């Protein structure tokens, strides 16, 4: 039997097989082409090019910041006088300068704003006050401060010690904050008088009501002190405790004996001159606070939280303003109270961060720079750390602004000169409805760049004494009867 190794015979009718194979190959090729088209952007299933076309800009959605927390305005209330016997907290010994890198709770540290144009100086004129006004105000007792020489200013070692103590309490203090009190220098002053206590709401509002009655118009607090604001009321400031209804100025009886605040430098000067006194110079203020034995605080070299109202209080004592007669054991060598803490105090001088290094600083009875943009404040406040309550510490503020932290007290010359001759009872220093051209003008010198103001600038103001104020038989001006 033989085998057949030849090819199988050809069959008819096989074309349909090739058709199926071709269809499959064609579909596969189309699928590959379509896939490649999608990848390279030739074909776009969404109607927008994926590549080689315009790129969509991504939108970043961020979280909405939480609303700012409203600051609670300071509430004024009477605090009982602390008792003696609290242990004294000694300041640390001098140490190297501490870099300002400590982050702590904010203190009443200065904030820089654009400076208004500097102003020139003018002499304060003090005359015989109206006896009716004196009866209404009942001015604070004047204490004698001896004349003579004392050391004014501080040293780098003392500032570094104060900074270290401040930082140890968790506050933000830097050596730069004390540099404007360099260098130490000898100052000779004539004898003068300083009010024992800070001016109260009761006293200042008696002056404001008298001033409004004399002018016969409302809103004298807005321009009645040398044509400038005297103070802020509840109409202008949420933190002001002074209520005004276009008829009278008033506060609650419970705070009437607290030191007045939110009073401008112009209001402070007008009040003092109206009662026959004046604002103290910066040198007089420091002399009355530290005496002639170089005290860092009015009571001595060491900080004691039981002797002053600052933000560094003994446990259980509420921080805030206190009665002007509080802390009797914290008085200065001359018996002047609350020259550390409670409220900072206006003095008459313009502020210049470099004034202590100028020849005028060592002249007898210095009165500060001849011009400037801000005025000196002294003594720290209830809202500040002991660093700011040192007798040598200097700060500054816009004279046309009032804050919840600044008050004042008056001074007077020693009672050796004649008191003057009154010329009627309708005259009040500073009680003018429009600025006195004699008190305003452009400065002839540019304020130092270090004298940055701490408060928003206002209209250029009246100017400080060009020489130490002396008693005068005349008054500064007459009342403006206009509205």
- Say which residue, 118 or 279, is predicted with more confidence: 279
Q: How far is the C-alpha of 395 from the C-alpha of 236, rounded, in Å?
A: 24
Gap between the Cα atoms of 466 and 121, Å rounded: 6
Question: What would the pLDDT profile of 307-349 be if each residue is shown by its tens digit?
Answer: 999 999 777 788 899 999 999 999 999 999 999 999 999 999 9
Contact 117, 459 (CB under 8 A): no
Strands, E assignment, 372-444: 375-378, 394-397, 406-407, 411-413
Most confident of 62-71, 103-112, 366-375: 366-375
Mean pLDDT of 110-114: 35
- pLDDT for residue 374: 98
Which of 8-17, 93-102, 417-426 tops mean pLDDT? 8-17
Structure confidence at residue 190 as a pLDDT band (50, 70, 90): very high
Q: How confident is the model at residue 264 (pLDDT cuts 50, 70, 90)?
A: very high
Report pLDDT for 124: 46
Residue 400 to residue 113: CA distance in whole angstroms: 14
Identify the H or E element spanning 350: strand 344-350
Domain range summary for the chain, segments of one domain joined by +: 131-439
8 A C-beta contact, residue 373 and residue 118: yes
| pTM listed for this prediction | 0.67
Instruction: Tally Cβ neighbours within 10 Å of residue 267.
Output: 31
Sheet holding 192-195, edge to edge: 142-145, 192-195, 411-413
Give the CA angle between residues 463, 469, 474 to the nearest 5°: 95
Q: What is the pLDDT of residues 433-479, one digit of tens each?
A: 445 443 443 333 333 333 333 333 333 333 333 344 443 333 333 33
Q: What pLDDT band is residue 353 in, cutting at 50, 70 and 90?
A: very high
Closest listed residue to residue 292, CA positions, set 333, 329, 347, 328: 333
Categorize the per-residue pLDDT at 25 as very low, low, confident or very high, splitting at 50, 70 and 90. Answer: confident
Res 318: pLDDT: 82
Say how many C-beta atoms besides its own lie within 10 A of residue 284's C-beta.
26
Among candidates 176, 110, 200, 256, which has minimal Cα distance to 409? Answer: 200
pLDDT above 70: percentage of residues in the chain: 61
Q: Which carries the bigger pLDDT value, residue 192 or residue 102?
A: 192
Q: Tokens for 87? A: 């242990």
CB neighbour class for 350 (10 Å; exposed up to 12, middle 13-18, buried from 19): buried
Tokens of 182: 């360099």
What is the distance between the alpha carbons of residues 185 and 356, in angstroms, rounded to a whole number?
A: 8
Question: CA 167, 156, 304 angle in degrees (round to 5)?
Answer: 50
φ, ψ of residue 395 in degrees (nearest 5): -140, 175
The span from the CA of 116 to the CA of 320, in Å, is 32
Which strand (E) or helix (H) includes residue 149? strand 148-152
CA distances (Å), origin 208, targets 76, 90, 400, 425: 20, 43, 17, 16
Round to whole Å and give the CA distance between 243 and 477.
28
Residue 391: helix, strand or coil by DSSP? coil
Architecture of the CATH domain 131-439: Alpha-Beta Complex (3.90)
**Mean pLDDT across the stretch 188-195?**
98
Q: Rg of the chain over CA atoms, in angstroms?
A: 37
Report how many helices (DSSP H) and strands (DSSP E) the chain contains, helices first. 6, 11
Residue 20's pLDDT is what? 73
Q: What pLDDT score does 166 carry?
A: 95
Contact 389, 307 (CB under 8 A): no
Model confidence over 196-255: pLDDT tens digits? Answer: 999 999 999 999 999 999 999 999 999 999 999 999 999 999 999 999 999 999 999 999
Residue 21 has what pLDDT?
72
């Amino acid at each position: 039997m033989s085998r057949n190794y030849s090819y199988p015979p050809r069959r008819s009718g096989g074309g349909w097989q090739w058709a199926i194979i071709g269809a499959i190959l064609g579909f596969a090729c189309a699928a590959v082409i379509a896939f490649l088209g999608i990848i390279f952007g030739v074909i776009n299933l969404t109607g927008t090019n994926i590549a080689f076309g315009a790129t969509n800009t991504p939108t970043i959605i961020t979280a909405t910041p939480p609303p700012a927390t409203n600051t609670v305005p300071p509430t004024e209330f009477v605090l009982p006088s602390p008792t003696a016997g609290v242990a004294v907290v000694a300041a640390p010994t001098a140490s190297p300068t501490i870099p300002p890198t400590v982050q702590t709770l904010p203190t009443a540290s200065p904030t820089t704003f654009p400076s208004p144009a500097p102003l020139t100086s003018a002499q304060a004129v003090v005359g015989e006050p109206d006896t009716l006004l004196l009866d209404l105000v009942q001015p604070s007792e004047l204490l004698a401060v001896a004349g003579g020489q004392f050391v004014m200013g501080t040293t780098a070692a003392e500032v570094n010690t104060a900074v270290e103590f401040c930082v140890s309490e968790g506050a933000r203090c830097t050596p730069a904050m004390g540099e404007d009190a360099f260098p130490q220098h000898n100052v000779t002053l004539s004898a003068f008088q300083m009010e024992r206590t800070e001016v109260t709401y009761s006293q200042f509002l008696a002056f404001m009501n008298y001033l409004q009655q004399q002018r016969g118009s409302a809103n004298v607090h807005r321009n009645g002190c040398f044509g400038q604001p005297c103070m802020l009321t509840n109409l202008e400031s949420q933190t002001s405790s002074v209520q005004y209804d276009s008829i009278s100025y008033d506060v609650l009886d419970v705070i009437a004996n607290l030191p007045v605040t939110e009073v401008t430098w112009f209001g402070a000067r007008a009040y003092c001159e109206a009662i026959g006194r004046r604002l103290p110079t910066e040198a007089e203020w420091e002399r009355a606070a530290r005496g002639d034995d170089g005290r860092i605080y009015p009571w001595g070299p060491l900080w004691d939280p039981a002797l002053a109202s600052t933000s560094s209080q003994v446990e259980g004592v509420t921080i805030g303003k206190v009665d002007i007669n509080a802390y009797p054991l914290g008085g200065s060598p001359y018996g002047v109270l609350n020259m550390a803490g409670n409220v900072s105090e206006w003095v008459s001088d313009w502020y210049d961060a470099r004034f202590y290094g100028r020849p005028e600083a060592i002249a007898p009875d210095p009165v500060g720079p001849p011009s400037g943009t801000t005025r000196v404040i002294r003594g720290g406040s209830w809202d500040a750390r002991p660093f700011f309550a040192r007798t040598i510490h200097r700060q500054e503020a816009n004279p046309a602004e009032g804050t919840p932290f600044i008050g004042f007290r008056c001074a007077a010359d020693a009672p050796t000169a004649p008191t003057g001759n009154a010329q009627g009872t309708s005259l009040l220093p500073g009680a003018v409805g429009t600025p006195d051209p004699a008190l305003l003008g452009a400065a002839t010198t540019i304020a130092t760049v270090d004298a940055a103001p701490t408060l928003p600038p206002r209209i250029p103001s009246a100017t400080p004494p060009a020489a130490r104020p002396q008693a005068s038989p005349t008054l500064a001006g007459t009342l403006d009867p206009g509205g």
